Amino acid sequence: MRIFHSAASLSILSYYAVSIPLVACLSYQDHMVSDINLHGVLLWASMGFLMPLGVITVRMSHREEGGRRKALIYLHFVLQILSVLLATTGAILSIKSFENSFYNNHQRIGLGLYGAIWVQAVAGFLRPHRGNKRRSTWYFVHWILGTVISLVGIINIYTGFSAYRRKMSRSTRLLAILFTAQVSFMAFVYLFQDRWEYMQQQGVILGNNEVPIAATASNQQNDQNQKVLVPERCGKRNSLRNLFD
Q: Domains of the chain, with CATH numbers? A: 2-210 (1.20.120.1770)
What sign does the CA torsion over 172, 178, 194, 71 have?
negative
Strand pairing report for 205-206 and 209-210: antiparallel
Query: What pLDDT does residue 15 have?
Result: 37
Condensed to tens digits (0 to 9), the pLDDT of residues 107-129 reads 889 989 999 999 999 988 888 88
- Regarding predicted confidence, which is higher, 244 or 227? 227
CA separation for the pair 245, 229 (Å, rounded)? 28
CA separation for the pair 13, 11 (Å, rounded)? 5
Of 25-29, 151-155, 198-202, minimum mean pLDDT range? 25-29
CA separation for the pair 80, 151 (Å, rounded)? 15
- Please give the angle made by the CA atoms of 81, 44 and 176, to the nearest 5 degrees: 155
| Residue 211 region by backbone torsions, left for phi larger than 0, else alpha for psi between -120 and 50, else beta | beta
